[in-house]
Amino acid sequence: MIRRLVLLAVLFTSFAFAENRVFELRIYTANEGKLEALKARFRDHTTAIFKKHHMEVIGYWTPQSSDPKSKDTFIYILAHPSREAAEKNWKEFQADPEWTKVKTETEKEGALAKKVESTFMDATSFSPMK
């Protein structure tokens, strides 16, 4: 009986957690010739550091090759438990010694991105992803 109550409490907590989930759309414009290095940094380092700080990667994208933005644009979406959690996660991520080291090492020859755009989003009531 206690196991069932604990399971029920966990399920309700998970539902409430998902109800407040916020998505973050991030669009990076890479400096000339730096897109591949930017993608490599995400592939080899950033994704693992995101996970450590409870930042769920939904996916990574680049524009199709026929789009002029394909030469310098990198897009991804993160999910956070809430907007407050997102702010906390980002602060902790930015202060992480591993991230600081990776950023310094990968930007020895200059910054990889010249512009970063961030948009926090809420799922609509009819969205299949919440």
Domain edges within the chain: 20-121
* The pLDDT of residue 5: 37
Q: How confident is the model at residue 19 (pLDDT cuts 50, 70, 90)?
A: low
Where residue 110 falls (left for φ over 0; alpha for ψ -120 to 50; beta otherwise) is left
CB-CB neighbours of 90 under 10 Å: 16
Per residue, the 3-state secondary structure of 20-38, as one string, reads CCEEEEEEEEECCCCHHHH
Query: Looking at residues 8-30, what average pLDDT do you find?
Result: 68
* The pLDDT of residue 110: 97
pTM for the model: 0.83
Tell which residue, 15, 102, 13, has the closest CA to residue 50: 102
pLDDT tens sequence across 63-112? 999 999 999 999 999 999 999 999 999 999 999 999 999 999 999 999 99
> In the chain, how long is the greatest CA-to-CA distance?
62
Tell which residue, 82, 116, 94, 99, has the closest CA to residue 48: 99
What are the beta bridge partners of residue 24?
78, 120
Pick the more confident residue, 5 or 4: 4
pLDDT at residue 12 greater than cutoff 60: no
Whether 61 and 75 have beta carbons less than 8 Å apart is answered as: yes
Tell which residue, 12, 7, 5, 22, has the closest CA to residue 120: 22
- The CATH label, of 3.30.565.10, 3.40.50.300, 3.40.640.10, 3.30.70.100, for the domain at 20-121 is 3.30.70.100
Looking at residue 98, its amino acid is E
* The pLDDT of residue 6: 38
Query: Looking at residues 41-57, what average pLDDT do you find?
Result: 98
* The pLDDT of residue 20: 82
